[in-house]
Amino acid sequence: MNLKEIMVSPGVDERTFGQFVRQCREEKGYSVRAFAKILGCSAAYLSDIEKGNRYAPKKYLDKIFEVLDLPETDRQDFEDLAGATRGFLYEDINSYMGQQPLARVALRTAMEENASDEDWKMFIEGLKKQ
């Protein structure tokens, strides 16, 4: 299952991350109990994550990513997909957003102006050139 394709597809919601984890877990041959034991949580807790009833805290996200042996290039999409479980709250950038008032202003402005992917690509390239 390709994370990039999932992230751009319509219908990403609080259940999508769990469905992704379940599919990858099954492809690796892990039962719910075996995978939960590796993660250090109960099978019921993992089952709730897979059903979209709970979100995976950071300590489990890192372990899930590692055990599923996902490519490092997929880490950001993995974090974003997990964020959908929490209503698109992103553990990796929330603290930064809290400390950078202009970042929040920039995002709100982009939203108000309906910034396109092309606009964001140009913005990102501009930041990288600095």
Asked whether residue 1 carries a pLDDT value surpassing 60, the answer given is: no
Could you tell me if residue 94 is inside a domain?
no
Answer yes or no: do 106 and 64 share one domain.
no
Same domain, 45 and 82: yes
Query: Are both 31 and 67 inside the same structural domain?
Result: yes
Residue 122 pLDDT exceeds 90: yes
Parent domain of 52: 3-88
CATH number of the domain within which 34 lies: 1.10.260.40
d(C-alpha 121, C-alpha 68), whole Å:
30
pLDDT digits (tens, 9 = 90+) for 43-83: 999 999 999 888 888 889 999 999 999 999 888 888 888 87
Its sign, for the CA torsion 72, 115, 7, 79, is positive
Res 8 pLDDT > 90: no
CA angle 90, 100, 60 (to 5 degrees): 20
CA dihedral sign, ordered 104, 110, 114, 119: negative
Q: Is there a single domain that holds both residue 106 and residue 83?
A: no
User: Same domain, yes or no, for 60 and 32?
Assistant: yes
**Total domains present in the chain:** 2
Which one has a higher pLDDT value, 5 or 122? 122
If we measure between CA atoms, which residue out of 40, 6, 38 comes closest to residue 20? Answer: 6
How crowded is the C-beta side of 66, counted as CA atoms within 13 Å? 8
* pLDDT value at 7 more than 90: no
In a domain, 32, yes or no: yes
Q: Residues 21, 81: one domain?
A: yes
